[in-house]
Every structure is written in C-alpha cells, then in structure tokens.
Structure 1
Amino acid sequence: MAFSCPTKTMAQSSLKISLQGLECHFTWKLDYSRSKLQCLRETMIDISSSEGFQCSWAGHLYNLLAYLHHALGSTEDALQCLKKAEEAIRQSSPDDVELSLVVHYGNLAWVHYHQGELTESQNYVEKVGKLLQDNPCPDINLLLKLRDHKMAFSCPTKTMAQTSLKISLQGLECHFTWKSDYSRSKLQSLRETMIDISSREGVQCSWAGHLYNLLAYLHHALGSTEDALQCLKKAEEAIRQSSPDDVELSLVVHYGNLAWVHCHQGELTESQTYVEKVGRLLRDNPCPGVVWGEKAWTLNKFDVSKRKEALDYFQMALNGDPENKVLRCGYAMAFNTSVDRKNITPKLRSEMLEQLCIARELDPEDVYITVMYLERLAESGQVEEALKLAEEVTEKPMDSFGGFGLLLTFYRDHVSHDSSIDLARRTLERHPDSRQLKRHLGKCYKWKIFSPEEKRNPMRHILIENAVKLYEELVALYPKSLAAKLELSAMYKESGSVDRADKIFEDLFLDREGMEPQDLQKFYNWYAKHLFYAKQNTYRSIDFHKKAAEIMLPTRQHDSSIRVLLSTVHNRGHRAEEIVDFLDGLDGEGDVGQFYTFFPIKC
C-alpha cells in the first residue's frame, strides 16, 4: 500500500496534541447532554441580553456562551460571543489584560481548529504558550474553570501546581495518554505476555525499548510502581543502544512516561522537568516519526480493534522516514494482522506478501516476519516453498520466540499435529525454563487431543496424561490466568477426572464477583458446556448459557452461547418458549437477530 500521510494531516495531529493541553472550555469536560447545554445557553443568553448588562464576569460569561453555541453547532454565534468576550475582558482587566485572555485565546484556538484554519489556531496556541512561559499557573485560569463548574474558590498552591502540571501531561504522546484503560484482567494478561518476551535471556530486538516502555505502563496501571521504574530504566538503556544517532528524539515517549510516573508519586519537580524536556525536543520536531512508530507498535500489541489505527500511525511514521527498517517491519506486521483471515481477498493477500517481502529484505533475521511470510505463501498455494522456508527457520537456533505460535500453527495445518508437538518439544528442551514455550506445547497437545482423528486413537490417554501434567504446571506458572485453569478443566474431563474439573469450576464460581465482564462471560460459557457434556445437566447448562448471553460483549463465547440457545429452540428442546422470550428481550440492539438465519425458529 502507498504510505500516504499528507503534511496537513500530520500538522492537524500535532496541533491537536497542543490543543488538548490548553486550559479552556473545550478541555474542561463540559460534554453534557444536548438538552442541558441548550438549557444553560438559554440562561446565559437571558443574562447577557438584559439591558445594561455589565459585571466583572462578563468576559467569562461570553466565553462560556461561545463554547455553548459551538457545541450546539452555531459557529458564527460562537465567534460573535468570543469577540464580545475579548472586549469585556480588555475593559475589566486593563492592568494584566493579556494574561486574563489565556482561556479566551484557548477557545479561539479550538474554534479555528474546528473550522480547518490551522494557521490561526496555531497562532493562538503559541500566544498561550508565550503567556504561560513566565506564569505557569495563573490564578485567573483556575478561577474561570471553577466558576464555570459552579465550584468553591479554594485551591491551595500545591493543588494549583498539580492542576497546571496535569494539563501539560495530558498533552504528551505516551502510554498514559493513549487510552489504554482496559480491564484489569486484560492488562494482567498482556503484562504476562510482555514479561515472557522480556525475560528471555539476552533478549535483543529493535523493539526492546518499546517493549519495556509498555511493560512499565502495565506495571504502573496494575499498582507496581517499583517494577515500572525498573522497566523504564531498561527502556532507556535499550533505546540509547538501538538509536545512537538520534537518541534524545527517540526518548520522547519514554520521557512522557517518566513524567507521568513521577507525577503519580507526587514528585512534581521531576515530572515538570521531563515535561519541559519533551517540549524542547518537540519544538524543532513537531511530528517525529519515532513517536508515531512507538504508538503504532503499542496499539498493535494492545488490541485487535486498534490494529487499523496502528496501521495509520505506521504510515505517518514512514512518511517521514521511508527507509526505516524497524518501521517497515512494524507496518508489514500490522498490515497482516489488520484484517480477519476470512476477509482476506486474493488481491489483499498479494499486497500483504509484497509488504512482508520488503520487510524480509530489510531484516532477514526477523523470525516473526519470516513466519508471517511463509504463512501467506501457503495460503496463496505456494505450500512447497513455504515448507522449505519453514525448515530453514527451524534449523536455526531460536533465541527469539516471536512468531513461534504462528510457526506451530503452520506445521499443524500443513504437515501434522505430531510435527507441531515435536517442534515445540525440541525447542523447549533447549529452553527448559521458558513458561511461554510450555504454554505453546500445551496448545499443541490441546489441538491434537480434540482433533477428530485423535478421538479414534487407542493411545489417546497417554497424550491426555501428558497434557494434564503440563497444564497443572501452567496453572502454577500463570496463577491469574483464567484460560490456563479452564483448559486444565478440559484436560481433567478428558482424562475422566470430572470431579477435579468440577473443583476448578466451583472455585471459579466463588471468585466470579471479582471477574471482569469478558472473563465472567467466558467462565459462564465454559461452565455451561462442562455441565452439558461432563455432567449431562441440560437444565443448569441452559442457565449458564443465558448468563453468558446476557453479557453483551462481542466475543466467541457470546456467539457460542447464543447459538446453543437458538439450537435448543430450533430443535424444540426443553424450555424452548422461555428461551425465545429471553432472546427477544436481548435483541433490542440486534445482537441476536443475526443468528436467526442459521437457526430459524420452528413454530
């Protein structure tokens, strides 16, 4: 694909970061309901239109009214009110008029930005910056904000300093401002994955600094500040080692993270120091590709739903540094994971292969890129070539396990289950302490155990016994992993130890109050299947499928439970009428109707 990121788009992105750091009505979270905004606008209009209207707050009133007009779609009225606001402020504050206009200039910057007038907007942003350079925490800003929120006018010096600093922090580009506020269980799961990658002896990769920065954020988000600081130290070491030519600019995101961590620790001076350091670095480089590259890498790791956004940031980064092999490889990986396999057309697959080919030429030692490439080769019909390349990969010492899961999947799909198990075992023998490899081997066991051909194998029980032992070890290695516990329960069931599987579900049921919605949905779905297949308790199974379906998250478990319920209705099973009423009650948003095509209800 072409790397199209016009200068205007980059300028808008850079300007938007600066705008978010302003102290004005557009950043004070006044995003109330439309009816409330309309009601407040009418009140402000009544006050401002009263005959002889003059008061010390006139400028503030017109600024607020301008924001309300703009929020409700009346840009011209907003501009007229901003003009009146400036006139009123200049009249009421002749001694220190420019400083009194800081909020006003912020509002003007936002309005011009929304109108696409970037130059005018940037001018007002710079004007605010100059005014605040010698007055980082003007009392007038805070008073205006408190007035508009109908709050008491009390603000000790320390609180004012924190407020001023927090505004600056919100404008930084780093992990703390990239909207990574996912569920605790998701953060824990990602932290475990990052720990697995980072704890490999001698881990060295072009993304090591990004990895430690992300891991630092995850530690901090989960309450481990000391671990976060240790990871930030490792991040800086890795970045300085991998980017000797332009190291300070490569540390912009890292310094932003440090600013946030020190702020949360109450170390305001240290935090302010890092904020100012970022400001100096970005003064001459308003859109550094290294920032967009790290943001892209982080988003790509965090969430499947963020991968298309990650792709855009990689494109922005490459626009300024098209020959950067790290960014090219990152783009190729993000591009190849941005579309579900079922939605990949021959044309799109060809484009993916082309990007992977470019990335391989730039970095032939990157195992992840190579495995992605051979996978796409096989999908395009070039299986023999892909197999030959896979053999070359497995013959080399594998010090990095990036892409190893994909490689095992490739062997499972194109050779055999035994070949994937053999590869996982051989690699684990060379790295016996790697819990990540043990997890990969567990998946290989699971694939084979539940494959149709293996169910007819008289020696299947031996594989199941091995899997039980391994999964028991994995639960000990990943004590907070719901997936490991559920998979162990499945292995117990297959081994005939239903009582031990029951115990896992009973313990999880007692802990369900502390589960995040997605984990709870997964637990209910698995428990429903266990009750049906292992306990032959159809009635309770339906109860738990209903519980899973009630949690309206678009997951495989949700779809699975809906399908089971619809299948029960379709086959006129027990409680069919009750299930129909239940599903009709859920279908207000159309989440269930999509499945009726597959399971038409019999009358």
Structure 2
Amino acid sequence: MTATNLKTHLLQLNCHFTWGIQEKYSDIHEIEERLHNQLEFLVSNYKYMVYNLLAYIKHLQSEYTESIANLDEAEKNCLSTSNGTNCKLLVIYGNYAWVHYYLNQLEKSQLYIDKVNNVYKELQQTNDPKDIPEIYGEQGWSLLMFHRKHYEKAKDCFEKALIGAPKDPEWNSGYATAVYRLVTFEGIKHSDQQDMLLKLLIQAIELNPKDSVVKALLGLTLQYLNRTQEGLKWIEEALEQTPNLPYLLCYVAIFYRRAGMADKAICVLKTALVLIPNSGFHHHQLGLCYRSKMIDKARMANSYYQNKRTNSCEIQELIQKAIFHFEMGLELKKTHVYAYTDLANMYREANEYKKAEETFQKVLSFINLTDYEKQEIHFHYGNFEQYVNKSEKEAIRHYKEALLIPGTFRDKQKCENALKKLAERKVTRYPTDASGFSLLGFVYKIQQKSADAIECYEKALKLDPHNEEYLSNLCELKLAI
C-alpha cells in the first residue's frame, strides 16, 4: 500500500487526527500542563482519554516517541477498565495508525487500521460509528479542552453520545459542562436557558454524585440567578468532597469572590497554587481577587472618616499584587485574552499608561480572536482612550469597531451607552457640527431604531450636504423600510 492510498483510509478513521481540532487557537503547552495535572489529581476510569489527547499533543510537537508512549498508557488504562467492550479502543487504534503514518511506518499504520476494522466487525457495526457513544463522548471531552470556538461542537458530540448512552455519568457531566460554558459565556438571557442548564447540572449530579466540579458549576449557576445561599450549599458540599482538587478550588474561589468574600477566595486559590504552581488561570483569578479588594477599598476611601493616607498605601499595594498575578498568569498562559485587558486596566490604575497602551495593542494584534474577545478589547481600549488619553476620536473609533461586530455580547450595551453619551454631548455642545448627529444616527442604526437614525442622518446631511457617508447610510435605512 502506498502512502497516498493509506492516507485515504486514515482520513476515514474517527480519532483526534480527523476531528478538526484547531490547535492554532490554543496554547499547546498550557493544555499539556493541564492534562498532566488531570493525570495527577483526577480519579477516574476515563484517564485513557487524557493519555489519548496527550499523544495527539505530542504529535503536534513532533515528539512521536512520547506520542507512542502515551498511546501505550491509554491502551493499558482502557483495557483495565473496559468492562468487556472494545469500543474505547477505536480512537486509540486510530491515533496509533496516524502516528505510525507520520513516522513513515506504513505497515504498522495499516496494522492499526486493520485493528479498527476488526473492532467494528466484533461490534457488528459499519465504519460509520453512529451508535458508538464512546467515540462521540471522547471527541466532546477533547474539544472542551481546547478553545471556546469548539464548545458548540463539543455540545453536539455529547448530545450524540447520550443518544446511545443516556445514563452514562461521564457524558452527562460533559454535556452539562459544555452547555454551562456556552450559556454563561454570553450570559443567561432567557428563563428557558436557566431551566435547561439547571436541569442538566442536577441530572449530571444525580448520575455522578462523586463529580464535585459539576456541583460547583451548579453553585455558580444558582449564584448567577441570585440564589446565592442555595449555591453556597453546593459549593461547600463540593469543597468537603474534594478539598484538594485544583480545578474545583478555582470554581469555589470564583463563587466566593463574586459573593464579596475576596479574602476567602484568596485563601482557596493559594491552596490551589501549592498543588499546581504553574497554573496561569489560578494566578489570573488571584489578580481578580486583589482587584476586587482594591475597588472595595477605594469605595471606602471616599468616606470622610477614613484615613486617606493609609487607604492610599493599601490601595497601591493591592494594585501591585493584582498586577503581579496578572503578569504571572500571562507568563504561564500567553493566550489568555481577557487577562490582557485586566492587566492593561490595572496598569491604568497604577498610572503606568504606556504599559497599559502597549498591552492593549499587543492583545488586539492577536490573530484568531473571537468576536466576543474583539468586542471586549475595543470597549476597554476605547474607555482608555476617552478617559486617559482624552482622545474622543480614538475612543469613538474603538467603540464603533466593537459595535460593528455581529452578535450581542456582554460589552455591547456598554459600548452603545458610551458612544451615545459622546454623540449627545457633541450635539449639545456643537449643534452646527454634523458629526454629532451622524454618530447618534450610527448608534440608533445599531439599536435598529430606524426612524431615529433617519432623523439624525437627515440633520447631519443638512449641515454637511455633500457627505457621501451620511447619504449612503440614509439611503440604506430608507430602503430597508
């Protein structure tokens, strides 16, 4: 068999090499670190999936000896927990076939393709594994480990896995986690989303009461829905169950911080960092805690009975602690986009404006940013331009860039409000300047208030009759009506 013919058969396999995992969106080394942490701290019959994904990561790093070693561990772990079924071996054998292909060991590659086909024959299945939940479940789990761009696809995979195994604890937990990330990422907007998410999380816990992480996700969801006391019960139950699980500790800390218990959150995160010192995510969360304390202290400093000098020193100390942990977090996880905006804003608090601007420019230059990420960066950068650099022109440019991004994200309303205030101020102060009316028209157009937008653009055109941009927008709005 030639390499070309072999490649045709390889592409038909269902494994990490054919799942369309786009590593360009992620920090491979950071994912590898997380996988090793999972092997150390997670007690599960699904460790074979961790080794399997590690093998794929090693392939991306062209470390094929390590890749084979991880596949050996995956196969060993899988056989010891297979309960008589070979379904879990399909992905492992598929990965073996691909790794040997890259090593130009074509006979060994063909051997593993044959093994895959033999498993299908044993299962009396065709090569289209529609009814094998183990494959879809592992695919969903692997996608969740990468960028949020894969979350929707991960959710679909878990849905397919649950068709064949509706009571499987692992796939129920995976499905609930995927939905949690998707729903909370953009904010829970509708009551049906709330009901669905709560139902999935509770069902996952009932099927897998040992999963403390899902209990924490339920606690955070209840907190988001202003049911903090209910949520706290789940958080405390999860913490009692696995007090030394780093991933759980991070969720617990998020809950405490949002509940106004920053000191308690800091204590939990420090415990987590003792367990996994190289976690960029935990350092970022610590930075958020110190930022929260800084904001609270600044509010208190406005009270007449406070010692301003003492408060000023404490505030500066908290700012520096937040900066330290944000910087450390980015050193360990260089692709964490939101940490850059948090760090830039904290540089602003420390009056280190040059560093703040450099940080905004650096993160805005990243390729493969999601629309959500772009909108958040433009909003914060616009805010920086408006209030620090005193540049209305640049602020307006960033706010407009954010609003032109399709979709309704968390910072869209903030951008609309900021831009509308600037437009109204321009109209009030300079009533003969067409740009104020044009800017207000732009905001109304984004808000789909066509009548108000048309009125504003008509006023702008009266003041600047030959402006093609105003005329184009006006024609577009009238044609739409």
* Shorter-chain TM-score range: 0.7 to 0.9
Greater alpha carbon shift after TM alignment, 278-287 vs 556-565: 556-565
- Residue correspondence of structure 1 range 170-249 to structure 2 within 5 A: 170-181=11-22, 184=24, 186-188=25-27, 192-193=30-31, 195-199=33-37, 202-206=40-44, 207-218=46-57, 220-221=59-60, 228-229=67-68, 231-241=70-80, 243-246=81-84, 248-249=86-87
Residues of 2 paired with 1:491 and 1:380: CA distance? 29
Amino acid at match of 1:499: K
- Residue correspondence of structure 1 range 240-319 to structure 2 within 5 A: 240-241=79-80, 243-246=81-84, 248-285=86-123, 286=125, 287-302=131-146, 304=148, 307=151, 309-319=153-163
Tell me the equivalent position of 2:447. Answer: 595
408, 411, 422: which is aligned to 2:253? Answer: 408
Is 1:534–2:379 an aligned residue pair? no
Greater alpha carbon shift after TM alignment, 366-375 vs 542-551: 542-551
Amino acid at match of 2:189: N
Residues of 2 paired with 1:261 and 1:479: CA distance? 28
- Residue correspondence of structure 1 range 308-387 to structure 2 within 5 A: 309-340=153-184, 341-345=187-191, 349-350=194-195, 352-378=197-223, 383-387=228-232
Tell me the equivalent position of 1:577. Answer: 435
1:528-579, CA deviations, whole angstroms, 9 ceiling, x for partnerless residues? 3333333223333334455566776876577766665455334437997399
159, 164, 173: which is aligned to 2:5? Answer: 164
3-state SS of 1:439 partner:
helix
Amino acid at match of 2:136: W
Is 1:470–2:308 an aligned residue pair? no
Is the CA contact 1:353–1:376 (under 8 Å) kept in the aligned structure 2?
yes
Is the CA contact 2:345–2:356 (under 8 Å) kept in the aligned structure 1?
yes
Residues of 2 paired with 1:560 and 1:215: CA distance? 41
Residues of 2 paired with 1:283 and 1:579: CA distance? 71
Amino acid at match of 1:491: M
- Residue correspondence of structure 1 range 370-449 to structure 2 within 5 A: 370-378=215-223, 383-395=228-240, 398-429=243-274, 432=277, 434-449=279-294
Query: What's the C-alpha RMSD, in Å, of the aligned pairs?
Result: 4.1
Amino acid at match of 2:392: T
Tell me the equivalent position of 2:464. Answer: none
Tell me the equivalent position of 1:460. Answer: 315
Q: CA deviation at 1:233?
A: 4.5
Residues of 1 paired with 2:85 and 2:62: CA distance? 29
Is the CA contact 2:26–2:335 (under 8 Å) kept in the aligned structure 1?
no
Amino acid at match of 2:175: Y
Is the CA contact 1:293–1:314 (under 8 Å) kept in the aligned structure 2?
yes
Residues of 2 paired with 1:168 and 1:583: CA distance? 57
Q: CA deviation at 1:290?
A: 0.9
Q: CA deviation at 1:174?
A: 1.6
1:495-528, CA deviations, whole angstroms, 9 ceiling, x for partnerless residues? 222233345456x28x93x633547776555443
Is the CA contact 1:210–1:235 (under 8 Å) kept in the aligned structure 2?
yes
Greater alpha carbon shift after TM alignment, 294-303 vs 516-525: 516-525
Is the CA contact 1:255–1:274 (under 8 Å) kept in the aligned structure 2?
yes
Is the CA contact 2:403–2:415 (under 8 Å) kept in the aligned structure 1?
yes
Is the CA contact 2:378–2:399 (under 8 Å) kept in the aligned structure 1?
yes
Is the CA contact 2:424–2:436 (under 8 Å) kept in the aligned structure 1?
no
- Relative to structure 1, the CA distance from residue 438 to residue 227 in structure 2 (aligned partners, 3 Å threshold; closer, same or farther) is farther
Q: CA deviation at 1:326?
A: 2.0
Is the CA contact 1:299–1:309 (under 8 Å) kept in the aligned structure 2?
yes
Amino acid at match of 1:539: K
Q: CA deviation at 1:293?
A: 1.4
- Relative to structure 1, the CA distance from residue 272 to residue 528 in structure 2 (aligned partners, 3 Å threshold; closer, same or farther) is farther
- Relative to structure 1, the CA distance from residue 482 to residue 384 in structure 2 (aligned partners, 3 Å threshold; closer, same or farther) is closer
Tell me the equivalent position of 1:118. Answer: none
Is the CA contact 1:176–1:257 (under 8 Å) kept in the aligned structure 2?
yes
Q: CA deviation at 1:250?
A: 0.7
3-state SS of 2:56 partner:
helix
Amino acid at match of 1:577: S
Tell me the equivalent position of 2:349. Answer: 494
3-state SS of 2:426 partner:
coil
- Residue correspondence of structure 1 range 116-195 to structure 2 within 5 A: 161-181=2-22, 184=24, 186-188=25-27, 192-193=30-31, 195=33
- Relative to structure 1, the CA distance from residue 202 to residue 164 in structure 2 (aligned partners, 3 Å threshold; closer, same or farther) is same
Is the CA contact 1:208–1:238 (under 8 Å) kept in the aligned structure 2?
yes
Residues of 2 paired with 1:231 and 1:600: CA distance? 62
3-state SS of 1:172 partner:
coil
Q: CA deviation at 1:369?
A: 1.4
Question: 5+ unaligned residues in a row in structure 2: which ranges?
Answer: 126-130, 302-310, 460-481
Greater alpha carbon shift after TM alignment, 406-415 vs 550-559: 550-559
Which of the two has higher C-alpha Rg? Answer: 1
Amino acid at match of 1:493: R
Amino acid at match of 1:595: Q
Residues of 2 paired with 1:563 and 1:264: CA distance? 54
Residues of 2 paired with 1:570 and 1:581: CA distance? 9
Amino acid at match of 1:412: R
TM-score relative to the length of structure 2: 0.72
Is the CA contact 1:563–1:595 (under 8 Å) kept in the aligned structure 2?
no
Residues of 1 paired with 2:226 and 2:385: CA distance? 42
Is the CA contact 2:319–2:349 (under 8 Å) kept in the aligned structure 1?
yes
1:391-414, CA deviations, whole angstroms, 9 ceiling, x for partnerless residues? 343345533233444323322334
Residues of 2 paired with 1:268 and 1:493: CA distance? 57
Amino acid at match of 2:168: N
3-state SS of 1:357 partner:
helix
Residues of 2 paired with 1:582 and 1:384: CA distance? 43
Residues of 2 paired with 1:300 and 1:570: CA distance? 44
3-state SS of 1:402 partner:
helix
- Relative to structure 1, the CA distance from residue 561 to residue 266 in structure 2 (aligned partners, 3 Å threshold; closer, same or farther) is farther
Q: CA deviation at 1:234?
A: 4.6
- Relative to structure 1, the CA distance from residue 288 to residue 580 in structure 2 (aligned partners, 3 Å threshold; closer, same or farther) is same
Residues of 2 paired with 1:222 and 1:565: CA distance? 46
What number of residue pairs does the alignment pair up? Answer: 429
Amino acid at match of 2:106: L
Q: CA deviation at 1:281?
A: 1.0
Residues of 1 paired with 2:58 and 2:408: CA distance? 28
Q: CA deviation at 1:291?
A: 0.8
Amino acid at match of 1:166: K
Q: Give me the identity figure in percent.
A: 24
Tell me the equivalent position of 2:306. Answer: none
Residues of 1 paired with 2:451 and 2:251: CA distance? 34
1:81-104, CA deviations, whole angstroms, 9 ceiling, x for partnerless residues? xxxxxxxxxxxxxxxxxxxxxxxx
